[in-house]
Amino acid sequence: MTSKERAKLRGEANSLEALFQVGKGGISDALIKQTDDALTARELIKLRVLRETCPTTPRETAEALAKATGAEVVSVIGGVMILYRYSEKLHEKKKGKK
pLDDT tens for each residue of 27-55: 999 999 999 999 998 999 999 999 899 99
What would the mean pLDDT of 62-83 be, rounded to a whole number? 94
| CATH number of the domain within which 10 lies | 3.30.110.60
pLDDT of residue 91: 74
Domain that holds residue 85: 3-97
What would the mean pLDDT of 79-93 be, rounded to a whole number? 85
User: Total domain count for the chain?
Assistant: 1
Distance of CA 20 to the CA centre of its chain: 9
pLDDT of residue 89: 76
- On average, the pLDDT of the chain sits at 90
| Alpha helices (H) along 1-98 | 3-13, 29-42, 58-69, 88-97
